[in-house]
Chains A and B, each alone.
Chain A
Amino acid sequence: MTLSVAVEHDLGGFHLDARFACDGGVTALFGRSGAGKTTLVNAIAGLLRPRGGHIELDGETLFDAARGIHVPAWKRRFGYVFQEGRLFPHLTVRQNLAFSRMFRRGREAGGGLEHVVELLGLRDILHRRPRDLSGGERQRVALGRALLARPRALLLDEPLASLDAARKEEVLRYIELMRDEIRIPVIYVSHAVEEVVRLADTVVLMAAGKVIAAGGVEEVMGRPDLRAGAGAFEGGAVIDATVTAQDMQWDLATLRFDGGTLTATNLDALVGEHVRVRIRARDVSVALEAPDHISIQNVLPGTIRDVGAARNGIVDVSITVGTTLVRSRITARAAEQLALRPGLDVFALIKAVSLDRLGAAGR
């Protein structure tokens, strides 16, 4: 799938002028509330006709202001999961799930329901009405309903926003499951860092109606200069890794990533499992030589790519380790004392206890 979006729209004094492109996987539209994320997604879904711009999916023009093209929502085949679920109150869960069948012509009618019911664990609530469901159950049904419409891509607009922490985790696990099992392209709107780094492959960062950065999740979420737009996210690196060994005696896990291996404290992961870990920039120290007699378990050789400008006595240093970028936040004085500069070979020191696992692909 290739989706390219350029949308211009005015909404009561708010000006949206956003463009981005994405292909398969999970793309997060990330930014604070009021950044224009939902407006943008509504334009993609066809629920809103923007003033200007162009939207194209796999070569098919869905919207083109200049040529007066606006394919109506019901013909676009985007599955949309709304913040508030929007289940039909007059229908049972089963009828909600089967809703899209009424509008599908023969060619791709039957099937799918059983699989989705199984995948999302809806078996026991099929005969209930939406008002008798918990918030988490509602969102699961909404996910299933969108999936059963055989969409070309899924649009999830803050599907966890109205849920408490426990429900969030419940639904998040199902979204991960769906991402891994059905492999449908997803556009995920959120203002929550944890959700984005846990789910997304690509991040489109929005602020005040504009796209201010787009790229891989490690790249965008790690950029310290984007802190203002990204909100409370602490600069750092997000690393995809595979568990290669478990040390039962010390309760440690060994992770392999593009650039070497990491030792982490127990991550509740199985050998062979894929995990995503976050390393905060402030948990990473820099050394010019590999130190001896030190408690730090991870000493990764790398090359400095970039040394940021000093701000409030703080400097952010990007270090390339293999093909992975690790961020380090140190004092400006330390950077000066070590004469850090791009191209310098250094060692990134990372405490094993500082690695955070982001989400579990587990069941």
Chain B
Amino acid sequence: MPLPTSLEFDIILLSLKVALWSVVASLPFALGIAHLLARHDFPGKSLLDAVVHLPLVLPPVVVGYFLLLLLGRSGPVGAWLEGWFGIVVAFRWSGAAIACAVMGFPLMVRAMRLSIEAIDPKLEAAAATLGAGRAGIFLTVTLPLALPGIVTGVLLSFARSLGEFGATITFVSNIPGETQTLPLAIYALTQVPGGDAAALRLCVISIILSLAALLFSEALVRRATRRGLGYDALGSR
């Protein structure tokens, strides 16, 4: 298979840009909610948990359509964003990133929450007796010990973003060069006669990208575990 053409290269770059931004933007929120769900009890906790998990069980088209209603130029949030900040996300790559972020969010929260729950709260109590306040405990004990889970969550969400189709196409449509990520490009090619070969090439690229991301995160987790982090270290407490 020859090297990607410049057109294919643009599609890859756009897909990576969308996936990267969706992960970066959702990471702090996911971490916050994961910590909230893992370490705190409050009224409405199960409701929040359910809402976070919604994108996992809803048809992606539904999510995309709601985003369109909400963030479209005439939607309440979309109009507000445009009026006050001049920001438009509908039919833009940033909108694709938002769609991917929402779809990947439950995966990210879940992985992080599990890894935070696996940390012995007694270690956090020990940190408190050594003078660490809430923020100090989070930064010096919880965060480093949850690192393998955070890496896993980021990867899952990144992979989900690379493959996101339904919500993206519904929310920001399929505009080449702006919102046409890998899966959308593959879909478009399969809709025209004679596009099979080109679609197959993109499929192979897609597989390579996902594999690379998997191997990379695997290496990161292994490194973190070797440093004494992670579940095996907690097992020896």
Contacts and interface: CB of A to CB of B under 8 A. Distances in A.
Contact of A73 (B122, B123, B128, B233): B128
Interface in A61-100: 72-74, 76-80, 82, 84, 86, 88-91, 99-100
Interface stretch (B51-59, B98-106, B136-144, B196-204): B136-144
A72 B128 contact: yes
A129 B132 CA distance: 21
Q: Counting chain A CB atoms within 10 Å of each CB, which of B130, B132, B140 scores highest? A: B130
B97 to A, nearest CB: 32
A104 B129 contact: no
A88 B136 CA distance: 14
A154 to B, nearest CB: 10
A57 to B, nearest CB: 14
Nearest to A77: B131
A86 B140 contact: no
B126 interface: yes
A89 B234 contact: yes
Contacts of A15: none
Contact of B228 (A47, A90, A146): A90
Contacts of A145: 130
Interface string A117-148: 00000000000011100000000000001100
B140 to A, nearest CB: 6
B125 interface: yes
In this complex, the member of A78, A80, A86, A91 whose beta carbon has the largest number of chain B beta carbons within 10 angstroms is: A86
Interface residues of A, number: 29
Contacts of A82: 122, 126
A294 interface: no
A176 B123 CA distance: 26
B227 interface: yes
A45 interface: yes
B169 to A, nearest CB: 43
Interface in B218-234: 227-229, 233-234
Contacts of B140: 99, 102
Contacts of B40: none
A100 B228 contact: no
B130 A89 contact: no
Contact of A74 (B122, B136, B144, B229): B136
Contacts of B131: 74, 77, 100, 103-104, 149
User: Which of B126, B140, B234 has the most A CB atoms < 10 Å from its CB?
Assistant: B126
A86 B229 CA distance: 14
Interface string B104-135: 00000000000000001011011111111100
Contact of A90 (B128, B129, B136, B229): B229
Contacts of A99: 127, 130, 132, 140
Contacts of A89: 123, 145, 228-229, 233-234, 236-237
Contacts of B122: 82, 84, 86
B8 to A, nearest CB: 42
B36 to A, nearest CB: 19
A146 B234 contact: no
A149 B130 contact: yes
A78 B227 CA distance: 30
Contacts of B132: 74, 99, 102-103
A45 B129 contact: yes
B141 A146 contact: no
B100 to A, nearest CB: 31
A77 B130 CA distance: 7
Nearest to B133: A74
B84 to A, nearest CB: 40
Best-buried of A74, A90, A103 by chain B (most CB within 10 Å): A90
Contact of B130 (A47, A103, A129, A131): A103
Given A102-B136, A130-B228, 19 more contacts: A47-B125, A47-B128, A73-B125, A73-B129, A74-B129, A77-B131, A84-B122, A84-B237, A86-B120, A86-B125, A86-B126, A86-B237, A90-B229, A91-B228, A99-B130, A99-B140, A131-B228, A145-B130, A149-B130
23 contacts: A45-B129, A46-B129, A47-B128, A72-B128, A73-B128, A74-B129, A84-B122, A84-B237, A86-B120, A86-B126, A86-B237, A88-B126, A89-B228, A90-B145, A90-B227, A99-B130, A99-B140, A102-B132, A102-B136, A104-B131, A131-B233, A145-B130, A146-B129
The 4 closest A-B pairs by CB, nearest first: A103-B131, A89-B233, A80-B129, A73-B128
